[in-house]
Structure 1
Amino acid sequence: MAALDHIRVLDLTRVLAGPWCAQTLADFGADVIKIERPGAGDDTRHWGPPYFRTPDGTATREAAYYLAANRNKRSVTVDIGTPEGQRIVSELAAECDVVIENYKVGQLKKYGLDYASLKAIRPDIIYCSITGFGQDGPYAARAGYDFIVQGLGGFMSITGEADGGLGGGPQKAGVAIADLMTGMYATTAVLTALAHRERTGEGQYIDMALLDVQVAMLANVGANFLASGEVPRRWGNAHANIVPYQSFEASDGWIIVAVGNDGQFRKFVQIGEREELAEDERFATNPARVRHRDTLVPILADMVRTRTRHQWIALLEDAGVPCGPINDLAEVFDNEQVVARGMRVEIDHSLGGAVSLVRNPIRMSATPPEARLAPPLLGEHTEHVLKNLLGYDDSALERLRAAAVI
């Protein structure tokens, strides 16, 4: 029995933040019905290459970006711009516990699919809206994009190489972290609302904003600023308060060395055959190393270049000095720990063969998440859902198809 197999979710989202939330709920057993535009679907279906390939090597129209956020769902195509489409989605909402949407503020009201309209149909509905800037405030009407939010929310001001250095300047993250973390916060909010409803019978409205989440994600850095009033600077892969605690280039690639105390520093330079550095008063203690980092780090960089990544990691791990490689994704999915934890999963796809996806990372003893269904083809479940959930017959479906409603 899956933890959420009694919950049905109507997914009116696209791209990443909303689909990520809905996929997480689906991983735990929720029946997620994804509503998509007939003939087009979620924007990310077309964000390729790469695309899923069948066993004979044929590229499909299923982009890897779309596959990443839509497993375990059922796809139903409905044109909500038509009155009949709006009626269908309203009928589906009446059969669902949760609605998740990421339309612009107020856009769904004109379709009768806003919270107030659906609450009138199902009073205990849980309705989660995801936008760039929230339902109120001076930016509410703006479209929200992860990249813009990373900049606006301060993340890029603390990410990237230091000003004045090689490649210095603000840098976004390599993945859409504001989208992904908003999806995760939204999941928490939905689960909390479900727990509240189980105790009280009361549904509720959830207002999630990418900018709010990005500001919250500043965590200790944000708290440091609020406590001190000092605007933090970028340190790249270095640490503001610990030296050496950064990346170094070995003879064949990059490694991370995270020296946490003076004893570990001594071991590090002994392995590098530069024992005298631990005796130098400029480098003997961490406060001294922080003050003289501009002198010390180039010396250490030259030292690290004398060995390979594998040699350094083996020697440092044996000595108890925290370290690790900077892997590319081929190395990540070949890593013995990643393999042992089963982070790559294969799911049979309706087009043939299996699609490779990343496993939900949550481990639970009684109700673990499960990758049951491959991301659906566009409209793959339209007929089944409308027949079995809403009672539509073949003639009704044919009429709706002819009118391009589904």
Structure 2
Amino acid sequence: MLRPMHGVRVLEVAQFTFVPAAGAILADWGADVIKVEHAERGDGQRGLTTVLGVDAISQGSSFSPIVDGPNRGKRSIGLALEKPEARAILDELIKQCDVFITNFLPDSRASLRLDLEDIRAVNPDVIYVRGSGFGARGPEANKGGYDMTSFWARGGSGAGATPVGADRLSPMPAGGYGDNLGGMTIAGGIAAALFARSTTGETSVVDVSLLGVGAWATQFTVNLALMAGGPPPRPPVPRHGSARNPLIGPYRTSDDRWLLFSMLQPGRYWDEFCTVAGHPELTTDERFDTVEKLMANAPAAAERVAEVMAERTFEEWLGLLETIEGQWAVVQDAWGVANDVSLRANGLIATVKDAEGVDRELVTNPVQFDEQPAELRRGPLFAEHTDDILRQLGVTDERLIELKVAGAIT
């Protein structure tokens, strides 16, 4: 299979999900990604045993989806970056890398000499990549952020997902939601920077913030606000359907499952739906027998659709709706997504062997080349490759022992 990043060397000094997710994607695409972890604690994400009240580590195993997901395919080295001996090793790794990626805050970058000038002094041709909460400039450049704060709250998604009049803000639908979108964004930026370097010889600094990714995700509404000179109005949302279309929105089946309709041309699909649903009389109902009437009386039509949908089970509706031209989808929870027939058919859920040799499954990145699914490798154990990486740098076994005694490496 095509691995377009084969031969590209990436040095990652980052933790948690946002920036490491970019490294995982590059590894999926064939890059050699070396992950630098704190010599004692490792990536802070390794210490999370539960996420949103759910166990994050498979009992009796080293496998942790929240670690293996954003770190699959990498090699891990434990370095005490504050020690001179470790810095010499880091410099050797910098010399050999094409891309340096970090999400450390400015003060930490300065104290550990990880700023652009420090890295470029060692390797002038390196592509330097910063992931941040609020951007590399401005009054909040030194402020840390997670996707819950920078992406969801500040980027507009939280407000947009919360119904008018709600007594609480809608939470993110999944842990790492903005982080994973941000990681894909960073990976795309790196790919563009590598292409530019190969064609022009010019290297780049790549900046991606969670706030910027959040604004990009909500740009439709933000752009409307910019045009209007204020927040766009949020008209009341009918209980069913939309104000002008009964074939838009979620409907509940008799067994409390949900289907979502997105048939944007109600006149085109109304007769078909009513016939398949076993209620052809609705097509001749004087309230709905023309497109104009259907749209004018959409709330009443939507109430009838809700009643019709409640007559049958989820499985019964799947069989009936399978034949229609109009657009619809099942509303799936995480287990439904994990077993989605199209994700499975396209290899977007892939098997990976964990450190104990047990087959596990992870969601792959959504980009495929030549119709070939990504081939995943597990994430590294903490500092698993320290000795191998150093030996590749020419470090002798005697020196390895000295570095470990000095606390410079794990």
TM over 0.5: yes
Tell me the residue number matched to 2:397.
394
Tell me the residue number matched to 2:81.
80
Residues 193 and 203, structure 2, Cα contact 8 Å, conserved in 1: yes
Alignment-mate amino acid for residue 197 of structure 1? R
Residues 221 and 232, structure 2, Cα contact 8 Å, conserved in 1: no
Percentage of identical aligned residues: 28
Note the residue ranges of structure 1 that are not aligned, 5 or more in a row.
none
Tell me the residue number matched to 1:171.
170
| Cα distance between partner residues in 1 of 2:179 and 2:207 | 14
| Cα distance between partner residues in 1 of 2:354 and 2:138 | 44
Tell me the residue number matched to 1:373.
377
Give per-residue Cα distances to partners, 1:64-103, cap 9 Å, x unaligned. 2111111110010111122322332222111111000001
Partner of 1:76, secondary structure, is: strand
Give per-residue Cα distances to partners, 1:351-379, cap 9 Å, x unaligned. 2322321223222128x574342111101
Give per-residue Cα distances to partners, 1:107-140, cap 9 Å, x unaligned. 2122222110110111111010001011111121
- Work out which of the residue numbers 298, 318, 336 in structure 1 matches 2:341: 336
Residues 52 and 355, structure 1, Cα contact 8 Å, conserved in 2: no
Cα deviation, residue 273, structure 1 = 4.1
Residues 75 and 380, structure 1, Cα contact 8 Å, conserved in 2: yes
Partner of 1:59, secondary structure, is: coil
Give yes or no for the alignment of 1:6 onto 2:10: no
Q: Give RMSD over aligned pairs.
A: 2.6
Tell me the residue number matched to 1:115.
116
Counterparts of 1:25-64 in structure 2 under 5 Å?
Answer: 25-49=26-50, 50-51=55-56, 53=58, 59-64=60-65
Relative to 1, partners in 2 of residues 1:42 and 1:290: Cα closer, same or farther, differing over 3 Å?
farther
| Cα distance between partner residues in 1 of 2:293 and 2:82 | 66
Of the structure 1 ranges 371-380 and 225-234, higher mean CA displacement relative to structure 2 is found in 225-234
Give per-residue Cα distances to partners, 1:276-314, cap 9 Å, x unaligned. 444455545666556545444333222211101122222
Tell me the residue number matched to 1:153.
155
Cα deviation, residue 347, structure 1 = 1.9
| Cα distance between partner residues in 2 of 1:107 and 1:299 | 60
Residues 345 and 357, structure 1, Cα contact 8 Å, conserved in 2: yes
Relative to 1, partners in 2 of residues 1:386 and 1:339: Cα closer, same or farther, differing over 3 Å?
same
Residues 242 and 286, structure 1, Cα contact 8 Å, conserved in 2: no
Relative to 1, partners in 2 of residues 1:98 and 1:192: Cα closer, same or farther, differing over 3 Å?
same
Matched positions, count:
397
Relative to 1, partners in 2 of residues 1:290 and 1:102: Cα closer, same or farther, differing over 3 Å?
farther
Relative to 1, partners in 2 of residues 1:290 and 1:21: Cα closer, same or farther, differing over 3 Å?
farther
Tell me the residue number matched to 1:308.
313
Of the structure 1 ranges 328-337 and 276-285, higher mean CA displacement relative to structure 2 is found in 276-285
Tell me the residue number matched to 1:16.
17
| Cα distance between partner residues in 1 of 2:140 and 2:186 | 20
| Cα distance between partner residues in 2 of 1:289 and 1:39 | 66
Relative to 1, partners in 2 of residues 1:289 and 1:79: Cα closer, same or farther, differing over 3 Å?
farther
Cα deviation, residue 317, structure 1 = 2.6
Alignment-mate amino acid for residue 213 of structure 1? V
| Cα distance between partner residues in 2 of 1:188 and 1:343 | 19
Residues 163 and 169, structure 1, Cα contact 8 Å, conserved in 2: no
Give per-residue Cα distances to partners, 1:211-234, cap 9 Å, x unaligned. 112112223333333334451538
Alignment-mate amino acid for residue 386 of structure 2? T
| Cα distance between partner residues in 2 of 1:240 and 1:96 | 56
| Cα distance between partner residues in 2 of 1:72 and 1:241 | 49
Residues 44 and 63, structure 1, Cα contact 8 Å, conserved in 2: no
| Cα distance between partner residues in 2 of 1:159 and 1:116 | 41
Give yes or no for the alignment of 1:254 onto 2:258: yes
| Cα distance between partner residues in 1 of 2:44 and 2:400 | 25
| Cα distance between partner residues in 2 of 1:221 and 1:241 | 20
| Cα distance between partner residues in 2 of 1:61 and 1:48 | 11
TM-score between both structures, scaled by the size of structure 2: 0.88
| Cα distance between partner residues in 2 of 1:241 and 1:194 | 48
Residues 246 and 299, structure 2, Cα contact 8 Å, conserved in 1: no
TM-score between both structures, scaled by the size of structure 1: 0.89
Cα deviation, residue 62, structure 1 = 3.8
Alignment-mate amino acid for residue 10 of structure 1? L
Partner of 2:323, secondary structure, is: helix
